[in-house]
């Protein structure tokens, strides 16, 4: 049965008959022996406090959970992470997977934050060397703690008199995704094959305690979740995260799969940055097999802010400053291989406020977008939440061209198109999407005159004053390092500060329509 993909789906999805043994067939589960419950879910909130205040006005569910990456950034974002915990407690979140952003901080910082959470964190595939077996100096320096005192494998929660099993997984690529790998060098996450064994072992443990309705909170990513669903038994629902999929409704073969024993498994995920949140309505038969389900998504911007949560956030982060008015906006892109007018505008702010030739920003670092109406500093902070300070350096034409070449090639050959096409100010460039290559580039001066750059023979003796955040400029991340730290002018502020100043200096209603800086060959893009 095909269901609507709107935010509110009035239909119920009736599953085909289970392939499981006869005792789990629909004939053995009359209506009077059914159990109904709803799950409210979020994932990959990334510290987006504005959206959290709106989610609070809409989230529902007998059980409310998160698939991880609620937090954002490292110890520079302590206040934001505290605001996130306040939201999770107010929202009644009972459990969350441990995402990579939860562990961007040192272990003690994570523990201090986790202790304030009224729910539980889950990561059954995360293993840690016992503290007593570690070097005492490193334990002290890195502020290590015994994580299994904070992170659970599973738990049993009672909903309307029924036992519901909760368990969770950390991402198998955790070491590649956290900001500071050294903070957690005593930890490892099992690979997918071993994680599946870990999951099945814990599911069996829950089932031995009489639990026949089990929810997995997964930060493995969508494709890995699909493998888990098909290669385990006993899991009913997977609330997913990490790959930022926006899963609307229920489609057999896509997010309705079948376990090793033929029982239905529903997977769902609500995108990223708190732009959406979900409610999954379920009907189980007396054996704990799902017979009906309905997956609804709510769009956060359609809900009013919860003013109590807004007050609490302001107490933690300070009152935001109104900086201007947004007259009109170009819709934000849905993928990392589209031009992003919102990120380009932030580059304009860097370029004009610092007086540089060129400004560049990582498209995938854009965590929110401009909206029409009054805009304040908190709105802009949500767009650029990471505390990566601004750096300016003289960069050769060759280094610049090579960085763009390598970034574009990586973007078009990787799943999810990461790190993504770069937002720019002071540059125009052309991409061949089919080949995944840079094919042209030009410098745009302050008089808006284009000066072509020979990308096949870029000059090593020609320099441009370039602004980026430190994450891109000299920490590397997914990009070529353009200049070492000691050669940079390093400013004590982030892009959000410059954007606020830029809007105030414009002193007029702002239009977010900064496109046309990337051209696509063969009509693609």
Q: Is residue 312 part of a domain?
A: no
Query: Do 287 and 384 have their domain in common?
Result: no
* Residue 102: other Cβ atoms inside 10 A: 26
* Residue 509: other Cβ atoms inside 10 A: 12
Q: Is residue 314 part of a domain?
A: no
Q: What gap in Å lies between CA 510 and CA 73, rounded to an integer?
A: 29
Query: Do 273 and 349 have their domain in common?
Result: no
Which pLDDT score, from 0 to 100, does residue 32 have?
Answer: 57
pLDDT at 217 over 90: yes
DSSP string, 161-229: TEEEEEEEE--TTHHHHSS-GGGGTTEEE--HHHHHHHHHHHHHHHHHTT---EEEEE-S-HHHHHHHH
**296 lies in which domain range?**
13-130+151-302
Which pLDDT score, from 0 to 100, does residue 475 have?
Answer: 80
Query: Do 373 and 518 have their domain in common?
Result: yes
Query: Do 369 and 430 have their domain in common?
Result: yes
Which pLDDT score, from 0 to 100, does residue 92 have?
Answer: 97
Count of all residues that appear for the chain in the document: 525
End-to-end CA distance of the chain: 34
Largest CA distance in the chain: 80
Q: What gap in Å lies between CA 499 and CA 342, rounded to an integer?
A: 11
Domain boundary among 302, 328, 358: 302
Q: Is residue 136 part of a domain?
A: no
- Contact between 13 and 250 (Cβ < 8 Å): yes
Model pLDDT for residues 287-315, shown as the tens digit of each residue: 999 999 999 999 998 999 999 999 999 99
Query: Do 279 and 339 have their domain in common?
Result: no
Domain boundary among 302, 336, 355: 302
Range with lowest mean pLDDT among 11-15, 188-192, 385-389, 441-445: 11-15
Q: What gap in Å lies between CA 165 and CA 175, rounded to an integer?
A: 28
Q: Any idea what the CATH number is for the domain that residue 32 is in?
A: 3.60.21.10
pLDDT at 16 over 90: no
Q: Any idea what the CATH number is for the domain that residue 385 is in?
A: 3.90.780.10
Q: Is residue 3 part of a domain?
A: no
Q: How confident is the model at residue 477 (pLDDT cuts 50, 70, 90)?
A: low
Query: Do 381 and 494 have their domain in common?
Result: yes
pTM higher than the cut 0.75: yes
Which pLDDT score, from 0 to 100, does residue 476 have?
Answer: 63
Residue carrying the six token digits 């109406």: 373
pLDDT at 415 over 90: no
Q: What gap in Å lies between CA 18 and CA 285, rounded to an integer?
A: 12
CA 437 centroid distance within chain = 27
Query: Do 227 and 356 have their domain in common?
Result: no
Q: How confident is the model at residue 29 (pLDDT cuts 50, 70, 90)?
A: very low
The number of folded domains in the chain is 2
Q: Is 416 exposed, middle or buried (0-12, 13-18, 19+ CB in 10 A)?
A: middle
Q: Is residue 135 part of a domain?
A: no
Query: Do 340 and 236 have their domain in common?
Result: no
Structure tokens at 212: 């026949």
Q: What is each CA distance from 312 to 68, 174, 282, 316, 386, in whole angstroms?
A: 22, 31, 33, 6, 21
Query: Do 284 and 331 have their domain in common?
Result: no
pLDDT at 18 over 70: no
Query: Do 491 and 423 have their domain in common?
Result: yes
Q: Is residue 310 part of a domain?
A: no
Structure tokens at 178: 């956290």
Domain boundary among 241, 272, 302: 302
Query: Do 351 and 297 have their domain in common?
Result: no
Query: Do 256 and 215 have their domain in common?
Result: yes
Model pLDDT for residues 77-129, shown as the tens digit of each residue: 889 999 999 999 999 999 999 999 999 999 999 999 999 999 999 999 999 99
Q: Is residue 41 part of a domain?
A: yes
Q: Is residue 137 part of a domain?
A: no
């Amino acid at each position: 049965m095909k269901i609507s993909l709107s935010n509110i789906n009035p239909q119920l999805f009736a599953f085909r008959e289970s392939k499981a043994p006869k005792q789990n067939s629909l004939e053995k589960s009359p209506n009077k022996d059914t159990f109904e419950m709803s799950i409210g879910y979020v994932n990959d909130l990334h510290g987006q406090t504005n959206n959290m205040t709106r989610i609070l006005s809409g989230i529902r569910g007998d059980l409310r959970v998160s698939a991880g990456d609620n937090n954002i950034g490292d110890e520079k974002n302590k206040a934001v992470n505290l605001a996130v915990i306040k939201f999770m407690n107010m929202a009644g979140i009972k459990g969350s997977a441990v995402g990579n952003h939860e562990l961007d901080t040192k272990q003690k910082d994570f523990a201090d934050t986790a202790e304030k959470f009224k729910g539980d964190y889950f990561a059954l595939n995360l293993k840690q060397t016992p503290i007593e077996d570690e070097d005492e100096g490193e334990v002290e320096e890195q502020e290590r703690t015994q994580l299994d005192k904070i992170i659970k494998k599973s738990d049993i929660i009672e909903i309307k008199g029924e036992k519901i099993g909760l368990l969770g997984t950390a991402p198998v690529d955790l070491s590649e995704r956290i900001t500071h790998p050294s903070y957690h060098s005593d930890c490892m996450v099992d690979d997918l094959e071993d994680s599946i064994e870990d999951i099945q072992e814990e599911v069996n443990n829950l089932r031995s305690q009489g639990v026949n309705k089990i929810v997995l909170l997964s930060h493995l990513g969508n494709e890995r979740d699909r493998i888990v669903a098909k290669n385990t038994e006993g899991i009913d629902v997977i609330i997913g995260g990490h790959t930022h999929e926006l899963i609307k409704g229920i489609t057999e073969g896509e997010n309705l799969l079948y376990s090793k024993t033929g029982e239905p498994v529903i997977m769902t995920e609500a995108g990223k940055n708190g732009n959406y949140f979900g409610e999954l309505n379920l009907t189980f038969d007396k054996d704990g097999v799902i017979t009906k389900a309905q997956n609804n998504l709510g769009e956060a911007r359609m809900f009013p802010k919860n003013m109590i949560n807004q007050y609490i956030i302001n107490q933690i982060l300070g009152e935001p400053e109104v900086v201007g008015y947004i007259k009109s906006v170009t819709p934000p892109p849905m993928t990392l291989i589209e031009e992003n007018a919102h990120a380009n505008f932030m580059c304009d702010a860097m370029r004009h406020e610092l007086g540089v030739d060129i400004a560049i920003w990582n498209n995938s670092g854009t965590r929110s977008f401009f909206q029409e109406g009054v805009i304040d500093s908190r709105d802009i902070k949500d767009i650029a939440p990471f505390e990566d300070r601004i750096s300016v350096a003289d960069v050769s034409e060759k280094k610049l061209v090579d960085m763009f070449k390598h970034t574009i090639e990586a973007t078009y050959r990787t799943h999810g198109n990461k790190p993504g096409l770069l937002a720019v100010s002071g540059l125009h460039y052309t991409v061949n999407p089919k080949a995944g290559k840079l094919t042209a580039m030009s410098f745009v001066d302050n008089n808006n005159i284009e000066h072509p750059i020979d990308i096949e023979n870029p000059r090593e003796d020609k320099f441009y004053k370039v602004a980026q955040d430190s994450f891109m400029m000299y920490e590397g991340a997914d990009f070529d390092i353009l200049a070492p730290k000691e050669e940079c002018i390093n400013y004590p502020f982030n892009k959000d500060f410059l954007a606020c100043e830029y809007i105030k200096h414009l002193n007029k209603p702002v239009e977010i329509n900064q496109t046309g800086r990337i051209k696509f060959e063969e009509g693609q893009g």
